[in-house]
Amino acid sequence: MPRSRNARSPATTLGDESAASDSPRSYIAFEPLGTLLACMPWNFPYWQVFRCAAPALAAGNCIVLKHANNVTRCGRLIEEVFRAAGMETGVFALLAVPIAAVAGLIADPRVAAVSLTGSTAAGRSVGETAGRNLKKCVLELGGSDAFIVLDDADVDRAAEIGARSRFQNAGQSCIAAKRFIVADAIAGAFEERLVVRARAIALGDPADEATAMGPMARADLREALERQMSASINLGAVLASGGGRPERPGFYFEPAVLTGCEPAMPVFREETFGPLAAVARVRGDDEAVAVANSSPYGLGGNVWTNDVERGVGMARRLRTGGVFVNGMTHSDPRLPFGGVRESGFGRELHRFGIHEFVNIKTMWVPA
């Protein structure tokens, strides 16, 4: 991957930093905290781990991984990759333990800090335990990202990227576009194009190369999505496409598009963790910002417009950890990643991710 012109090497990021003080020789040292407990999810079982592990290991820490119980083999393979790369045994190690063991692991004095990627409920539990034991933590939690389409946007392109963002991984992504907030003047055209793209998605066996979307991971996730959809329809939302259960083995759910949505509806108020796109119409930029910020989450967001500076101005008003103007939300090692409010706190990746798990030590030395 090409290095950004402004990127700093790990040596520069972690090297001593001179600081002016009342001593002729004072500086800041960045030292590893020790062993980090990483609690990682199942939906992206490799990338999520590497996104957490790479900065922490670069800072000199060790990691014990508590992976989701349904992807334990993925954790074993990651452990093997690190060993094959020459890492000493124990620097990165998988702990195949149940969820009930997490609180005890956080409390263990050998664990210096904890990083969790998971649900907001899991974040509250881990954060509470970490706080009680005075352990540093980074929490990357759920999201209900707003995908704002302004009246001057390229509707075709916005619908194409919006569908890709919403329906990838069967919609099971914290940074998926979930709440589509569209200017009234172009909302009809956008909804038509989004429906066409949703209907074109080929459901099937994930092992078949012709398949564009497989089943959802669990029965309870599908049932929760159906509950949110039904409750929102009862409040006035319109099912424009999909939403059914295909007659085949597995927890399949037809990619759904709901129009006529309002901020108080479950599909806007709650996180929808599955292939359901909720569309609301707004009358102007101020209303778009207000609707976007009405969610308790604050992970990512998108603004689509042909006036980039207009998009940047709106992006600055959104209460999120990141905003992508005319682009799909994604994580890039060269950019910090994380959220605010019920989407958690702390950052992964970039130099900020490296500095999350270091002791920022002041060194004051006499002449």
pLDDT, tens digit, 9 for 90 and up, residues 26-71: 999 999 999 999 999 999 999 999 999 999 999 999 999 999 999 9
Spatial CA neighbour of 91 closest among 30, 14, 31, 35: 35
Asked, for residue 1, whether it belongs to a domain, the answer is no
Catalytic status, residue 74: no
Asked, for residue 240, whether it belongs to a domain, the answer is yes
Give yes or no for residue 7 having a pLDDT over 60: no
Domain identity same for 201 and 215: yes
Domain identity same for 159 and 196: yes
Domain identity same for 112 and 209: no
The answer to whether residues 16 and 27 touch, using CB atoms and an 8 Å cutoff, is yes
Give yes or no for residue 272 having a pLDDT over 70: yes
Give yes or no for residue 2 having a pLDDT over 90: no
C-alpha to C-alpha distance for 156 and 164, rounded to whole angstroms: 13
The answer to whether residues 123 and 106 touch, using CB atoms and an 8 Å cutoff, is no
Domain identity same for 137 and 156: no
> Could you tell me the two tokens for 38?
């990483």
CATH code: domain of residue 311? 3.40.309.10
Of the pLDDT bands very low, low, confident and very high (cuts 50, 70, 90), residue 216 is very high
Asked, for residue 276, whether it belongs to a domain, the answer is yes
* Predicted local distance difference test score (pLDDT) of residue 10: 52
Domain identity same for 237 and 350: no
- Choosing from 79, 137, 140, 191, which is the catalytic residue? 140
Asked, for residue 24, whether it belongs to a domain, the answer is yes
**Which residues is 30 bridged to in the sheet?**
360
Asked, for residue 334, whether it belongs to a domain, the answer is no
* Predicted local distance difference test score (pLDDT) of residue 367: 76
**Percent of the chain surpassing pLDDT 90:** 96
Of the pLDDT bands very low, low, confident and very high (cuts 50, 70, 90), residue 11 is low
Domain identity same for 281 and 186: yes
For 75-123, the pLDDT digits (tens) are 999 999 999 999 999 999 999 999 999 999 999 999 999 999 999 999 9
* Predicted local distance difference test score (pLDDT) of residue 12: 78
Domain identity same for 191 and 281: yes
C-alpha to C-alpha distance for 42 and 70, rounded to whole angstroms: 7
Domain identity same for 37 and 126: yes
Domain identity same for 23 and 104: yes
For 126-161, the pLDDT digits (tens) are 999 999 999 999 999 999 999 999 999 999 999 999
CATH code: domain of residue 39? 3.40.605.10
> Integer distance in angstroms from the first to the last C-alpha of the chain?
43
Asked, for residue 299, whether it belongs to a domain, the answer is yes
- Choosing from 74, 174, 261, 271, which is the catalytic residue? 174
Which domain covers residue 24, as residue numbers?
Answer: 10-141+339-365
Domain identity same for 49 and 186: no
Of the pLDDT bands very low, low, confident and very high (cuts 50, 70, 90), residue 242 is very high
Of the pLDDT bands very low, low, confident and very high (cuts 50, 70, 90), residue 3 is very low
For 220-233, the pLDDT digits (tens) are 999 999 999 999 99
Of the pLDDT bands very low, low, confident and very high (cuts 50, 70, 90), residue 1 is very low
Give yes or no for residue 182 having a pLDDT over 50: yes
* Average pLDDT score over the chain: 95
Q: How far is CA 344 from CA 115, 117, 143, 353, in A?
A: 11, 9, 9, 14
* Predicted local distance difference test score (pLDDT) of residue 161: 98
Catalytic status, residue 52: no
* Predicted local distance difference test score (pLDDT) of residue 46: 97
User: What is the rounded average pLDDT of the residues 356-362?
Assistant: 97
**Percent of the chain surpassing pLDDT 70:** 97
Spatial CA neighbour of 286 closest among 294, 295, 296: 294
Asked, for residue 3, whether it belongs to a domain, the answer is no
Domain identity same for 201 and 240: yes
Domain identity same for 150 and 266: yes
Of the pLDDT bands very low, low, confident and very high (cuts 50, 70, 90), residue 251 is very high
Q: In what order do the strands lie in the sheet with 113-117?
A: 92-94, 62-67, 35-40, 113-117, 136-140, 344-345
User: What is the number of domains present in the chain?
Assistant: 2
Asked, for residue 333, whether it belongs to a domain, the answer is no
